[in-house]
Amino acid sequence: MSNETKLEALTTSSSLPNSTGTPTFKQIYATLRFCLRYANSTANIFNRLMNMLEATDLTTITSMLPKEELERFVPMVAQRLTRIRMDIGDIGKFQKLCQEGGVSEMSLIRRCDLVPPKLRRDDGNKMGQLMLLGQLLPRLEHLNMQATITDPFPVNLRHLHTLIVHQSVYQEMLERICENCPLLQQLYMRNETRPNTYLDIAHIVKCNQLRDLQLPLMLQTPVAVSYLRNLKSLTLQRQQLWPDMDWLPIVQEIIKAKRDALQRLSLDGTWLTTPLDLSLLLLHRCWALRDVLLSNCKLADPTGKLSLPLSCQRFGLKDCTLSSPIYFLRGCSQLNLLELHKCQIAQSGGKLLTELLKHRKRLPTLHPLQLHFSDSTTLRSELISWNLKKSQFWEEWLQVRELNEHKMTWKQQLATITMAFGEPVNFTPDLDKLKELSDPTPADLLKELNF
């Protein structure tokens, strides 16, 4: 049987993983060995194999190859592979295998997932693992660190655009990242194993290209985020009980510093230990804020006069407990959409729609308020009690619609606060330009119509 016939038979046999099945380690290894013996280096089968090798234990497979096949395989990996998944303890081993195969670096790999070691061993704690990674992958742009590592962050990972750190984040590590990764655009630090650590983020200002940032909730120097001019999204998370109201001054400081650019705020209060007074977040001072979305919160009656700014156009509550949404809508004449999904409203008394209508009619509004709700027997009953003629009469101020759960338009990660930022609204209007854009006079209209 010729090599071409053997290759065709292997491709069509069940031993070769197809696009619908999940390949096993033995299948990938057997297929690779056969192709290295008989297939041409330009065969499409190698493209399929490279896609599979991106998600498998590449170091183990490479270490099992005979020397002749290793010397052919490693250059092929260097020329085709763009992503790699690696055991934290195998970095040095894989680098040595690459050198034995005649390759000193993998310059095409842009993404690396570092996973914890499969067995308990000391390899992952050896110093210099990340330094070796930087030598092996000099053009690495995306690093997902799922493993715990105690290394100082090296200087040879300066091309990183995205860095995800799941496990222990400590102060020196954060400072080294800020110092050595000036091109970072996305930084996600979850600190899952050290949630009680208070990180000082003063050095974050050195990463001035950051666009997306995720940090633990409990921080020091939170005002530093105000110096990140390109920041579009900030997420604060804590997957344990939030410490009373100790988190509030941190969030207040960030909101105050970015109040002219904050466009959207969403908060999930799964781990809140006390009722949330929304007015304490000082959102009414955020004149660019359009969307406020809350989930899994027990809301206290606001102590301040205003909870939302005049600019707010959307106020959404999901799985929340509150007295009445009316308390939060004072002064919100530009509000377009009010969402109530799976909410427990204590003081509605079956007349919430009536109260909303009265409130809306007292405001100088230019458009009706859209109320979307789901899973509320009380609101459904009140809506049914409004006959069609009555509903049409009040549509000028209030329009009500019941939605199914799957049509809800936002999903919030548990125990997180997410802020979205846009261009800062920190200027006064140019009166001369406003004068130029004023309504045309009858003479202007006749002139445009060529009369």
- Dihedral sign, CA of 339, 411, 421, 285? positive
Torsion of CA 421, 205, 267, 401, to 10 degrees: 10
The whole-number pLDDT of residue 9 equals: 44
Look up the pTM and report it: 0.85
- Are 101 and 73 within 8 A, CB to CB? yes
Distance CA 423, CA 146 (A): 34
Angle between helices 91-100 and 67-80 (to 10 degrees): 110
The whole-number pLDDT of residue 10 equals: 45
- Are 73 and 65 within 8 A, CB to CB? yes
| 105 phi/psi in degrees, rounded to 5 | -155, 155
| Residue of 337 and 385 predicted with greater confidence | 337
pLDDT digits (tens, 9 = 90+) for 130-167: 899 999 999 999 999 988 777 788 899 999 999 999 87
pLDDT digits (tens, 9 = 90+) for 205-236: 999 999 999 999 999 999 999 999 999 999 99
Average pLDDT across the chain, whole number: 85
Res 4 pLDDT > 70: no
pLDDT digits (tens, 9 = 90+) for 87-130: 888 899 999 999 998 999 999 999 999 988 776 555 444 568 88
The whole-number pLDDT of residue 249 equals: 95
Q: Which is nearest to 89 in space by CA: 110, 59, 47, 55?
A: 59
Task: Give kind and range of the element (H or E) at residue 415.
Answer: none
The whole-number pLDDT of residue 224 equals: 95
- Are 30 and 59 within 8 A, CB to CB? no
